[in-house]
Amino acid sequence: MQYSDKVLKHFKNPHNQGVIKNADAEGQVGNPVCGDVMKMYLKIRKQKTENRQQEYIENIKFETLGCAAAIAVSSIVTDMAKGMTLDKAMELTKDDVIKELSGLPEAKIHCSMLGVDALKEAIKNFKNQN
């Protein structure tokens, strides 16, 4: 199984790894088949623009128990989502993640879904609480 240089870079030095204390939202997902578990923490900033209020991801961190691909996916998803509006972040897809990582082996594609799903779960939890 061959990983791209970008996957290896994010696995060896993951970005945004850790916990946000007093996070505005959390989302956790797992895959019972492979055992990977991802948890995302969000800090949301509200800003009024053009007569409407936008909600942005001001900070995002993750905790992941899983393989190299799962950790790399978590890292890149947090990089991609930071600064996005919640609506724009909800549009992220596994294909966006795979492209940003310069590809993933076929057997690890499911890892890209976990990262997107954890992010979306956190956003849904935030919207349900507010």
Express each pLDDT in 53-81 by its tens digit. 899 999 999 999 999 999 999 999 999 99
**pLDDT tens-place string over residues 72-112:** 999 999 999 999 999 999 999 999 999 999 999 988 988 88
Give, in words, the CATH class of 5-129: alpha beta
1 pLDDT exceeds 80?
no
Neighbour tally for 46: CB within 10 Å = 11
Q: 73 to each of 32, 51, 85, how far by Cα in Å? A: 18, 35, 20
Q: Give me the sheet containing 52-65, strands edge to edge.
A: 25-30, 37-49, 52-65
Categorize the per-residue pLDDT at 32 as very low, low, confident or very high, splitting at 50, 70 and 90. Answer: confident
Please, what sign has the CA dihedral across residues 46, 21, 18, 37? negative
pTM: 0.93
Domain ranges of the chain: 5-129
**Whole-number percent of the chain with pLDDT over 90:** 81
Compute the average pLDDT of residues 17-37: 93
Predicted local distance difference test score (pLDDT) of residue 128: 95
Distance CA 73, CA 106 (A): 14
Mean pLDDT of the chain: 93
Q: Which residues are tagged catalytic? A: 34, 111
Predicted local distance difference test score (pLDDT) of residue 111: 80
